[in-house]
Chains A and B, each alone.
Chain A
């Protein structure tokens, strides 16, 4: 069974894909067909360091 875009077996990601079950988690490495915080870096609104701080400060990498 395919669990995520990369084919990794990751039930949390599969649940997210089925019904946005995330329990506060986020998957910064998963790209969806929508906007992204990376776009702010691309357009110069945020620096790479600021983006990394956002992920870290908001505990989004767990």
Chain B
């Protein structure tokens, strides 16, 4: 889950808790039944937060019968009718939702007869508002107008360019888009031009976020424009409204009319194939384009800077072998924006174990992320990642967009997959996100580092 969304979720949970809607007891001293709707990664993160608050949800409601009987941290997945039956038996119940299908879920629960409180914990659909009030129509029409103006401005600044929109700030999505955009541009016959002696397509890729901009630059065959989420949403709505043939929305899930995920009810189509075939309509044997704009990561300079910081902060410790060439070292990437996190204890045990084996350890951090204890923080740019992991030799990370970025790096790479289901499908995260160039390891709910380590070859 993106940090902004996560913050929104925890903030709304706190507010709800403070109103007494959660974690309270009824007159008989019976705890209120808290249900969650939709067995997906966002719901699992919500469950994690509730558990931290001492609230154990009764069940995760889901419409997929294949999931009934499963559980997440002992919270069973069951038919939504269970919440209705629970409430009918006199239990005080509340349903919490962190899904963009909030309105449909509310409608379903009301039709089933659930009369209790239903709360939206994250407002995913600021663009798709489910109201027909004149006020909404006016506001949304104004928003569309802004989008039209923005699109006009983009087109005046980039005349004759084919404009691609990557709607969300997800590294992996932008990486996959760029991996298959070039073959798509060839198929649809888009023009190539020479810019300072380098060939590029007359194509502009619009993204949200700095790292996402760096991804586009890394591929080096298109121009890039960074915008904020509001501007992006406005512009995309203008593209939908105008049906503009000089624009393309390159995403697996936006606009929602794309419905690509529906095919997952029939068969497993990994995310990369969704982009290749579903988003761009390319044949299954199309090879992905590889990034070209890699830069060297100057480890010596990093070490010198780190040493200076350490001198200024006596609390920090570094290994005695700090000047040695990186013979036995590993970079750990425990953070991801849009997947369920792994327990902190797993990472800490991993650090302890690898330290004992003589590894020098780094945590890949950005923004306000904290390094794991006893590891050094390291924050390369996107373009430096490949060089860095190749110098270090071993990458262990939760499966995130960063794994896509370094898939072509020549070193040992291990991706850890929390054991969750992809959206409301019967496919696991590893089915959807596995990378051929990685060792893909599934981490079950209660797996210890020792158990995870046994699944990894030669570590």
Q: Which residues of A contact B (CB under 8 A)?
A: 5, 15-24, 26-27, 30-37, 39-40, 42-46, 50, 53-54, 57-58, 60
- Would A20 and B263 be within 8 Å (CB), given that A34-B279, A40-B278, A42-B281 are in contact? no
User: Is B34's beta carbon under 8 Å from chain A?
Assistant: no
Residue of A nearest to B252 (CB): A35
**CA of A58 to CA of B251 in the docked complex: distance in angstroms?**
21
Whether the Cβ atoms of B255 and A32 lie closer than 8 Å is yes
Annotate B238-282 by CB proximity to A: 1 below 8 A, 0 otherwise.
Answer: 011101110111111011111110110111010001100111111
Q: List residues of chain B with CB within 8 A of the CB of A58.
A: 259, 262, 265
Whether the Cβ atoms of B237 and A26 lie closer than 8 Å is no
Q: List residues of chain A with CB within 8 A of the CB of B128.
A: 19-22
Whether the Cβ atoms of A32 and B132 lie closer than 8 Å is no
Chain A binding site: helix, strand, loop or mixed by DSSP? loop
CB < 8 Å neighbour of B284 from A33, A35, A44, A54? A44
- Would A18 and B239 be within 8 Å (CB), given that A30-B257, A35-B280 are in contact? no
User: Is B144's beta carbon under 8 Å from chain A?
Assistant: yes
CB < 8 Å neighbour of A45 from B140, B257, B269? B269
Whether the Cβ atoms of A35 and B256 lie closer than 8 Å is no
CB < 8 Å neighbour of A19 from B104, B140, B263? B140
Q: Give 19 pairs: A residue, B residue, CB < 8 Å, sorted on A.
A: A16-B240, A16-B257, A22-B128, A24-B103, A24-B104, A32-B240, A32-B257, A33-B243, A33-B247, A33-B248, A34-B251, A35-B274, A37-B259, A43-B277, A43-B281, A46-B263, A46-B267, A57-B265, A60-B259
Residue of B nearest to A46 (CB): B263
Whether the Cβ atoms of A18 and B243 lie closer than 8 Å is no
Residue of A nearest to B266 (CB): A50
CB < 8 Å neighbour of A34 from B107, B137, B254, B262? B254
Whether the Cβ atoms of B237 and A32 lie closer than 8 Å is no
Q: List residues of chain A with CB within 8 A of the CB of B144.
A: 18-19
Whether the Cβ atoms of B248 and A34 lie closer than 8 Å is yes
Q: List residues of chain B with CB within 8 A of the CB of A24.
A: 103-104, 107
**CA of A31 to CA of B278 in the docked complex: distance in angstroms?**
14
Whether the Cβ atoms of B237 and A20 lie closer than 8 Å is yes
Whether the Cβ atoms of B278 and A39 lie closer than 8 Å is yes
Whether the Cβ atoms of B257 and A40 lie closer than 8 Å is no
User: Is B141's beta carbon under 8 Å from chain A?
Assistant: yes
User: Is B283's beta carbon under 8 Å from chain A?
Assistant: yes
CB < 8 Å neighbour of A18 from B137, B250, B278, B281? B137
Residue of A nearest to B285 (CB): A43
CB < 8 Å neighbour of B273 from A5, A32, A45, A60? A45
Q: List residues of chain B with CB within 8 A of the CB of A40.
A: 260, 263, 269, 277-278
Which 5 A-B pairs give the minimum distances between C-beta atoms?
Answer: A35-B279, A20-B128, A19-B140, A39-B281, A34-B249
Counting chain B CB atoms within 10 Å of each CB, the highest count among A17, A30, A39, A53 belongs to A39
Whether the Cβ atoms of A19 and B129 lie closer than 8 Å is yes
**Min CB–CB distance A23 → chain B (angstroms):** 6
Residue of A nearest to B249 (CB): A34
Whether the Cβ atoms of B130 and A21 lie closer than 8 Å is yes
Residue of A nearest to B273 (CB): A45
Given contacts A18-B237, A35-B260, 14 further A-B contacts (CB under 8 A): A17-B241, A32-B243, A32-B257, A32-B258, A33-B245, A39-B279, A43-B281, A43-B284, A44-B284, A46-B266, A50-B266, A54-B265, A60-B259, A60-B262
Whether the Cβ atoms of A17 and B240 lie closer than 8 Å is yes
Q: List residues of chain A with CB within 8 A of the CB of B158.
A: none
**CA of A50 to CA of B237 in the docked complex: distance in angstroms?**
30
Residue of B nearest to A44 (CB): B284
